[in-house]
Chain A
């Protein structure tokens, strides 16, 4: 008489047991991995903008300082986007017939502002302040990446709370002199940690990890 369970049944049963255990782990682990992956954090994701603005050209080729357009980065929580008349400060003279800039001219003459799509976004309950980070020696590049190499702007850091806290717990490696705040591709000379710690003293950098430092 044939046995009810063939000899391979034991192996199948063991595989099923292992598989069940694995799937439980996967159910928990997969979402945790997913929310940390660029799929969810939107890293490197390019968003279509009303004007195909090329940071590579403006920063690298023209050598325009970040603060020329993002004028409130040193004084306000918001870095600020240039008003239409700031753009036209140059573009009334150069490329003033370019069809690419038609939305800009339309904005100026109709008074209807440009609607840029946000690229780097933190949730509503996070109160990020550009001014204090710049004052403490956190460079633009540290969070926003090599903007001078981006034809279209994309988010370069995960902007997760863990990423924020990494720096808030140990800011030294991410600090630079204020003179190099907007520099792209800046590298510290000498021992990076020694420099960072010197800057922490010079700029009175305190490691703040209390919840209300960011959530209010």
Chain B
């Protein structure tokens, strides 16, 4: 049935519409009197190996982002992938995922994905492209590849490496380059300063007792690093102390014991001060002791405390620099780590795994210069959308139009597709063969789960076309791996690699570099002194859309940002004090002016942002972003040769204002004890959970008693759990307008609360979903028994009984119930419908819904156990949020089993019942967060 109320304007109901609605309700009432037509059963013609209809299959594969792979396990029903989990065998996944891997399914089924190969906008067959390329390649071969350029996605794939080598051999004068708008070139340059070569650093927070982070967000960006950090945030001898200096609040900063809001442009001076302070304390080369310190008194105090802390634990500290910081900061971080003896312990180095150590501004500027000189007649692009992400002064799109033969491989027909002569739709990683490496070198074979939905080819196919290699990608990848392995063993090796998702023994060896003190000292002497002055613009990689490739992804657009809680679009983040001075409030439109470039975005006041700085997430504002809420394009502001920190931006009110779709209304705890946080010293005063008095008779649960615990000490707020929950439970996307009305549908939300002054608040994140109260307020008020208790203590929600009074939601003190105001679940097209988990009901309009503790997983695990004649063990059932959580903050299990992990956590002295004074007796307990402050920095 089509929606009777228009989705666009749900508020406006005309008299005619109202009567139609009444008629519809009457018809809906009658509908129950007739049986729906029986469906069809369509068996296979030939049953595929291993397939049992109704039971899912699990395939190990890998998803690459930012050059490196994360191993995943895809759950597939009848050839239809519906859920992504991390691969426990993969060293970078450890069984968990980030939001990108969870949301990659939407990328796969996105109905707006490009479907046709285009030559100047006209659809063409792949065969036609091969003919055109073959002709071109013969021509190029005659002139040894001169004029041929490749601009590839950064990566470390062994197969791509082999194809690149073959291309370089066949066409010696062709240029093979990688490019990304977010390339961490400064890290590479920093390593070159410090060690004389561009080594890749890999941090291990597990081996650090004091961690200093200079403008990096590794807890958001990397699963393994977040896990290692979280393992050190729980009380015990391993508890670390975390210092974070950053301009914009990040997930890592949320965890910090001491967070210093500082303009990103001053971090270079802060790093110099840290090197100098430590050099004075420790045996060190004289050139470091000669450094000049230019930071202010508050920053100096922070540096002193940090340096003392680091120096007291030699070999067990860690300094991390972020990709936005200039090479000198990376060199300084290496210098500190070297001085403290951390090299080889908390930070290890490898020879570069990426095909090209540099893949940023220098590369695309070189290409643009060659294009301007007419030295490029064939350009092959598989990097994401250079016409969008290239620095504005290069005018890349206009230059691309002048290239006689250009090919762009992309997921969508975006800006670059419009300017290239040929556009090829890219296959999703779940549709192709390939391989990739994790950041430690561990290789994974990428295997397809289904045939390309809309056609589409991969980078391997594209490079093979230029080599004239007619083999399919499958054979090319196999050939890469069989080259080094003798034939008799290869079959078993291949099977094992595919099954496990990792290729054994492929981690690359560490190198132990020697710091070059003179070069480091030279770079630090040349470092910019701590400047203040006009407002600085901080461009940063977005937690949701990455470089813009995920901007069309509606799952990610609707996901609240881990820090700002904004959905649908970006905003200019400002410290409240700065905004007050400029006379700006949240939602006011701002003009950001850098040189000739002007971008208009709404402002968002975010306590904890550095003063005199304005931060803008990159990746929004492209042509493929949702049309109504594109956001502002930060790439256009990458002026003055600066990619990340642009000094002297002009900020002026633009006149308009809009309502931002922010899912949290109030960020202050107002002295309430909701998200509980204590210092280590206060820890003994916690007494665990007491059971409140109740007038209700106790209920006996003879079997399992399901329960959950959420450890706030571990939670980074990264939101992977929210995305996993939405994927597992068929949560609909409602759109910007409905989120503004407060109708977002995520069952799991992460509240972020602030305490302390606006200039430097402490933040705490608290995941919250239905807590499954023993005495549930929702159950007492439901007039139709649609929400009741199960024999195992679950607070059940029965959709087919629900009549939509919403009494339950009104009576829920946790506000975790979600109501289907419109038929969001059913309004998906035939392609998006393939995304739905067949184990979970798709809810229709007028029905309340909420977290079920993933009851479908409980029942499936129970049935699997009983059918195979064993009993359920602790860990057999993991909820979707628990499985995705990079830091293991969420633990589900049986409270009736005293030995289970969740029982142990419920007995922890840090455990508390959220709003326990109401007598709801929640089955979900939170564990208080612990801070480990440095007494030297204590207030007063």
| B-side contacts of A85, CB under 8 Å | 45-47
CB closest chain-A residue, reference B856 = A216
CB closest chain-A residue, reference B33 = A31
**Is B703 engaged at the interface, CB distance under 8 Å to the other chain?**
yes
Q: Which of A42, A108, A210 contacts B45 (CB 8 A)?
A: A108
Known interface pairs A116-B41, A117-B40, A125-B800; A135-B46 also in contact (CB < 8 Å): no
Q: Which of A111, A131, A209, A212 contacts B855 (CB 8 A)?
A: A212
Are B791's CB and A208's CB within 8 A? yes
Residues of A103-153 at the interface with B, using a CB-CB cut-off of 8 Å, are: 107-108, 111-119, 121, 123-125, 127, 129, 131-132, 135-136
Within the assembled complex, what's the spacing in Å between the Cα atoms of A213 and B863? Answer: 11
> What is the minimal beta-carbon distance from A67 to any residue of chain B, in angstroms?
13
Residues of A65-83 at the interface with B, using a CB-CB cut-off of 8 Å, are: 72, 74-78, 80-83
Q: Which of A72, A108, A112, A124 contacts B52 (CB 8 A)?
A: A72
> What is the minimal beta-carbon distance from B867 to any residue of chain A, in angstroms?
5
> What is the minimal beta-carbon distance from A65 to any residue of chain B, in angstroms?
18
| A-side contacts of B791, CB under 8 Å | 208-210
> What is the minimal beta-carbon distance from A188 to any residue of chain B, in angstroms?
23
Within the assembled complex, what's the spacing in Å between the Cα atoms of A131 and B863? Answer: 8
Q: Which of A31, A118, A212 contacts B39 (CB 8 A)?
A: A118
Residues of B37-68 at the interface with A, using a CB-CB cut-off of 8 Å, are: 38-47, 52-55
Are A118's CB and B38's CB within 8 A? yes
Known interface pairs A74-B867, A125-B799, A131-B863; A113-B45 also in contact (CB < 8 Å): yes
| A-side contacts of B117, CB under 8 Å | none
Are B42's CB and A75's CB within 8 A? no
Mask for B786-798, Cβ within 8 A of A = 1, else 0? 0010111010101
Within the assembled complex, what's the spacing in Å between the Cα atoms of A206 and B796? Answer: 19
Are B54's CB and A40's CB within 8 A? no
**Is B6 engaged at the interface, CB distance under 8 Å to the other chain?**
no
| B-side contacts of A136, CB under 8 Å | 866
Are B798's CB and A215's CB within 8 A? yes
| A-side contacts of B55, CB under 8 Å | 72, 75-77
Are B790's CB and A210's CB within 8 A? yes
Q: Which of A75, A124, A135 contacts B866 (CB 8 A)?
A: A135
Q: Which of A77, A132, A208, A216 has the most CB of B within 10 A?
A: A216
**Is A44 engaged at the interface, CB distance under 8 Å to the other chain?**
no
Are B867's CB and A131's CB within 8 A? yes
| B-side contacts of A35, CB under 8 Å | 33
**B-side interface residues, number (CB < 8 Å):** 37
| B-side contacts of A182, CB under 8 Å | none
| A-side contacts of B44, CB under 8 Å | 83-84, 113
**Is B532 engaged at the interface, CB distance under 8 Å to the other chain?**
no
| A-side contacts of B658, CB under 8 Å | none
Within the assembled complex, what's the spacing in Å between the Cα atoms of A131 and B900? Answer: 28
Known interface pairs A31-B33, A80-B52; A129-B863 also in contact (CB < 8 Å): yes
**Is A204 engaged at the interface, CB distance under 8 Å to the other chain?**
yes
**Is B35 engaged at the interface, CB distance under 8 Å to the other chain?**
yes
Q: Which of A31, A118, A211, A212 contacts B41 (CB 8 A)?
A: A118
**Is A47 engaged at the interface, CB distance under 8 Å to the other chain?**
yes
Label chain B's interface by main secondary structure.
loop
| A-side contacts of B852, CB under 8 Å | 212, 216
Are A211's CB and B45's CB within 8 A? no
Are A80's CB and B54's CB within 8 A? yes
Label chain A's interface by main secondary structure.
loop
> What is the minimal beta-carbon distance from B467 to any residue of chain A, in angstroms?
33
Q: Which of A84, A107, A211 contacts B798 (CB 8 A)?
A: A211
| B-side contacts of A216, CB under 8 Å | 839-841, 852, 855-856, 859
Within the assembled complex, what's the spacing in Å between the Cα atoms of A36 and B54? Answer: 29
> What is the minimal beta-carbon distance from B497 to any residue of chain A, in angstroms?
27
Are B54's CB and A211's CB within 8 A? no
CB closest chain-B residue, reference A109 = B45
Known interface pairs A118-B39, A131-B863, A215-B841; A83-B856 also in contact (CB < 8 Å): no
| A-side contacts of B796, CB under 8 Å | 210-212
CB closest chain-A residue, reference B39 = A118
Within the assembled complex, what's the spacing in Å between the Cα atoms of A82 and B44? Answer: 8
Within the assembled complex, what's the spacing in Å between the Cα atoms of A114 and B41? Answer: 8
Q: Which of B42, B52, B792, B841 contacts A113 (CB 8 A)?
A: B42
Known interface pairs A80-B52, A80-B53, A84-B43; A211-B790 also in contact (CB < 8 Å): yes
Q: Which of B35, B46, B855, B859 contacts A83 (CB 8 A)?
A: B46
Mask for B778-822, Cβ within 8 A of A = 1, else 0? 000000000010111010101110000000000000000000000
| A-side contacts of B866, CB under 8 Å | 132, 135-136, 204
Are B42's CB and A115's CB within 8 A? yes
| B-side contacts of A117, CB under 8 Å | 38, 40-41
> What is the minimal beta-carbon distance from A53 to any residue of chain B, in angstroms?
12
Are B867's CB and A75's CB within 8 A? yes
CB closest chain-A residue, reference B841 = A125
| B-side contacts of A111, CB under 8 Å | 45
| A-side contacts of B790, CB under 8 Å | 210-213
Residues of A158-216 at the interface with B, using a CB-CB cut-off of 8 Å, are: 204, 206, 208-213, 215-216
Q: List 11 A-B contacts (CB under 8 A).
A: A72-B52, A74-B867, A80-B43, A113-B45, A115-B42, A116-B42, A136-B866, A210-B790, A211-B798, A215-B799, A216-B841
**Chain A residues within 8 Å of B, Cβ to Cβ:** 31, 34-35, 40, 42, 47, 72, 74-78, 80-86, 107-108, 111-119, 121, 123-125, 127, 129, 131-132, 135-136, 204, 206, 208-213, 215-216
**Considering the complex of A and B, which 9 residue pairs feature the smallest CB-CB distances, nearest first?**
A78-B54, A210-B790, A76-B54, A81-B43, A83-B44, A118-B38, A77-B54, A84-B45, A83-B47
Q: A42-B38, A116-B40, A127-B859 are in contact. List 12 more A-B contacts (CB 8 A).
A: A42-B35, A76-B54, A115-B42, A116-B43, A123-B800, A124-B841, A125-B799, A132-B866, A136-B866, A204-B866, A206-B703, A216-B852
